[in-house]
Structure 1
Amino acid sequence: MQQLLLLLAFFLAPKAQAGKLIGGHEVKPHSRPYMAFLRIRISDRKRCGGFLVREDFVLTAAHCWGRSITVILGAHNIRKHERTQRVIPVKTAIHHPNYHPKVNDIMLLQLQRKATLTAAVSLLRLPWRGEQVKPGMVCRVAGWGRLDLKTSTAILHEVELEIQQDEQCISCYRRHYNRATEICVRDPEMNQSTFKGDSGGPLVCDNMAQGIVSFGKKYGKTPRIEMKISSFLPWIERTMRRFQLQRPD
């Protein structure tokens, strides 16, 4: 999952520790019960996050696709066998039909069985159709991504990010930013950010999933881009309905 990180001294004096990344804090265990860790089988080692939106569906980023995906729910430390954890293989990975790298980067994972909801495993509410986040809103992103260029973590961390004017990302990414389907975020004061391993995790604003961690510049440099969930609600609802009606294997 792209994880939380951040650039403090990218342009420091030559003798300083240029490139040092910091940011984020460990969350209280199981206080983000909607979080899902994705164990992905692919040619190289890859990790992503996601979040439970229905007992049998996890929402994540399309670029987190792999030949075989297993979802771990109820986890805080993914290297430990916690009694709260529920490990469920993915039956079908459905990415958006118009997905291309950095475009429509959204995917639904249909689980092989329904997750049992507990204090450590619960759903995250999606926004209403047409609902918009506004610049200045402070939201949060959790994940198991890198804490800096060399430091990985097994423990769930979180950062707070502020919604930015679309122009911030338009000037930075130009044609790679689409205000209709994407959200621009950053933390200009603390230099917090998402980073490698955090992809697919939710941007949570007022206890509601508004975005999906997608992409950004190298080294966790901000601003970053999230997929705007409200723009994809018709596809999400239609896809979950269609696959629910399919006959089981």
Structure 2
Amino acid sequence: MGILWHITGLLLLRSCNPGFSMHDGIVGGKVSIPHSRPYMVYIHDTQSKAICGGFLVREDFVMTAAHCNHNHLKVYLGVNDTHFLPDGVAVQPFPHLQFNNTPGHDIMLLKLKTPATLNKTVKTIALPKTENPKHATLKDCMVMGWGLQDYHHGSLSMVLKEANVTMLDSKNCGTSDTVCSGGKTGPAGGDSGGPLVCGDVAEGIVSYYIRESNGEYCTRYTEISQYLEWIREKMNNN
């Protein structure tokens, strides 16, 4: 079956049956303790109103998914409740040049026009130090975001939510640069670009999901460790 990418204003690819969807939201999650994930970044396009998640990896760089790229992006740091957003920060986007709105290379860096001031509610998260050997299955992983609370309908969460996810054997997981989680819990519409955090390290970026024939969902994450050289080059040269 061919894979079709249908992008709506919320960067949510509606599920085909079976099919392919892109995200924004945590299904089956719990409300995060306020500011317990200080690296989380709320990303909003001021014109299209599309939202995504992201995460702070250096005082001047946020990481997110390339499919979250829009023309009027702003990032909001230290957010818990989106009813109370701080001033947004303008960014310069650096999507991976090989991303073409199909699976693969779904990674982007956003350079903040004004670097963040780190404090107890705004902090960076560590990235992998080396490439994940032979796609070893990651453990103790979780996702988080402000997205939809159901895969197909409902409203966006106004407060940050999080959920533990079950990682799958990545040998048969989408494209060669992805890792996967499965089950009834995970990201949904509005959570694109958020981190897959395993042991306090950002190991992946929420990219898309596939609905399986049994009704469960398999989420694909861009595997950050495969892009370490690209990340260093972009962050050091810009």
Give 3-state SS (helix, strand or coil) of 1:4's partner.
Answer: strand
Q: Which amino acid aligns with 2:205?
A: I
| 1:18-47 per-position Cα deviation (integer Å, ceiling 9, x unaligned) | xxxxx00000000000000001145x4311
Q: Deviations over 1:139-189 (max 9, x none)?
A: 0011000002122211000011121012553xxxxxxx123x110112x3x
Give the number of the structure whose alpha-carbon radius of gyration is greater: 1
Deviations 1:118-148 (A, max 9, x none): 1000000000122356336230011000002
Alpha-carbon distance between aligned partners in 2 of 1:196 and 1:146, rounded to the nearest angstrom:
5
Residues 11-90 of structure 1 aligned to structure 2 (within 5 Å): 23-42=28-47, 44-81=48-85, 85=86, 87-90=88-91
Corresponding residue SS for 2:97: coil
| Cα distance, 1:119–1:97 mapped onto 2, change above 3 Å | same
CA RMSD of aligned residues (A): 1.9
2:175 to 171, 175, 178: 178
Between Structure 1 and Structure 2, the one with more strand by share is 2
Q: How many angstroms apart in 1 are the aligned matches of 2:216 and 2:26?
A: 11
Structure 1 residues 129, 111: CA separation in 2 closer, same or farther (over 3 Å shift)? Answer: same
Alignment of 1:199 onto 2:221: no
Q: TM-score, normalised by structure 1?
A: 0.79
CA distance in 2, matches of 1:168, 1:145: 27
Per the alignment, residue 6 of structure 2 pairs with: none
Matched length? 210
Is residue 156 from structure 1 mapped to residue 160 from structure 2 by the alignment? yes
Partners of 1:76 and 1:223 in 2: CA distance: 27
**2:81 is the counterpart of 1:93:** no
The question of whether the paired residues in 2 share the 8 Å contact of 1:199 and 1:214 is answered with yes
In structure 2, the residue matched to 1:140 is: 142
Unaligned ranges ≥5, structure 1: 6-22, 170-176, 244-249
Partner of 1:112: 113
Indicate the SS of the match to 1:183. strand
Q: Which residue of 2 aligns with 1:226?
A: 221
Take 2:172 and 2:132, find their aligned partners in 1: how far apart are those partners?
21
C-alpha displacement at 1:114, in angstroms? 0.8
Q: CA deviation at 1:200?
A: 0.3
The answer to whether the 8 Å contact 2:25/2:149 transfers is yes
